[in-house]
């Protein structure tokens, strides 16, 4: 068994390796910065996987040791990793290496091809009677304040979503740059409006290389507007988009503390639920200010 470095340079992110057995790729390991809402580049996400038929042979340990060795030569101070709660072997692997549990999420999915959009029509009709409108990000191009209004709404919603540590939201300037650099983030981006105010949003993203699947990245409503069915109406927009663009599946993660979203997903028919646990480990002591 050998480990092959898939990263073109030591500084490249993500940094990753693949394990090969007789010329066959049997696992991979690596790390990358957690995400743009956590701008401290010293905190990274661990990725580690071994094909089921090759587990129990020490491959995961060798991959992990390679990742740990590489990280020891960096300024990374914290490593996080998600593990499925029903995989006891994975949980033992992490806890034996000093990882501690931070929080849990439910992962579930919706079969959009079998979903009847008429179930949500009543939310749209009722809200429209009271002056609410539901538009895509593209539909609002003619609104000169669209970018700022969408950004402010995004900040409100993100800060209200449970997180293992305080979020550091990107600046408005970075948000506008994101529109140019990653337009896919805004192609399935839906907004709820009320008399010119942006009050709710739904963001669906392509799910990796799965051409038939979308990922429900964000669904949120300003606190003052909750309890009116806005989230259900936004879900109508998202599911309608998925059906019309050939996506047969929408997957979603919901933190166990977020009971409103969990209830909404269950009511919509999201199923095949699994529990995922976020683990973390401090690698170095943070430098004193």
Report pLDDT for 288.
37
Give domain 108-273's CATH architecture: 3-Layer(aba) Sandwich (3.40)
Report pLDDT for 14.
73
* Every domain of the chain and the residues it spans: 2-106+277-282, 108-273
- Rounded Cα distance between 237 and 244, Å, is 11
- Domain spanning 2-106+277-282: which CATH class is it, in words? alpha beta
Q: Does 2-106+277-282 match 108-273 in CATH topology?
A: yes
The count of residues in the chain is: 289
Query: Hey, what are 237's tokens?
Result: 């927009």
> In what side-by-side order are the strands of the sheet with 271-282?
2-5, 15-21, 24-33, 43-50, 78-84, 271-282, 100-111, 249-255, 210-221, 197-207, 189-194, 132-136
- Rounded Cα distance between 82 and 238, Å, is 26
pLDDT, tens digit, for every residue of 4-34? Answer: 665 544 444 678 999 998 889 999 999 998 8
Q: Is residue 242 over pLDDT 90?
A: yes
Report pLDDT for 121.
96
pTM beyond 0.85: no
């Amino acid at each position: 068994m050998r480990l092959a470095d898939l990263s073109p340079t030591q500084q490249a992110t993500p940094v990753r390796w693949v394990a090969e057995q007789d010329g066959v790729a049997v696992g991979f390991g690596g790390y990358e910065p957690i995400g743009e809402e956590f701008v401290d580049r010293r905190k990274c996400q661990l990725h580690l996987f071994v094909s089921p038929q090759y587990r129990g042979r020490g491959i995961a340990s060798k991959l992990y040791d390679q990742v740990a060795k590489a990280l020891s030569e960096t300024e990374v101070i914290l490593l996080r990793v998600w593990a499925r709660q029903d995989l006891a072997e994975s949980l033992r692997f992490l806890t034996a290496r000093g990882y501690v549990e931070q929080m849990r999420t439910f992962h579930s999915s919706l079969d959009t091809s079998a979903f009847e959009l008429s179930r949500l029509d009543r939310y749209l009709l009722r809200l429209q009677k009271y002056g609410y409108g539901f538009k895509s990000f593209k539909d609002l191009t003619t609104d000169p304040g669209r970018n700022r209004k969408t950004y402010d709404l995004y900040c409100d919603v993100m800060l209200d979503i449970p997180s293992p540590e305080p979020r550091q939201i990107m600046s408005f300037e970075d948000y506008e740059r994101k529109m140019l650099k990653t337009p896919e983030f805004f192609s399935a981006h839906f907004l709820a409006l009320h008399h010119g105010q942006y009050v709710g949003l739904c963001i669906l993203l392509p799910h990796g290389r799965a051409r038939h699947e979308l990922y429900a990245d964000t669904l949120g409503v300003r606190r003052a507007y909750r309890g009116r069915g806005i989230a259900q109406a936004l879900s109508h927009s998202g599911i309608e988009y998925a059906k019309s663009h050939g996506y047969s599946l929408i997957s979603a993660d919901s933190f166990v503390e977020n009971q409103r979203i969990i209830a909404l997903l269950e009511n919509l028919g999201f199923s095949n639920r699994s529990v995922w646990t976020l683990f973390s480990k401090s690698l170095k002591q943070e430098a004193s200010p």
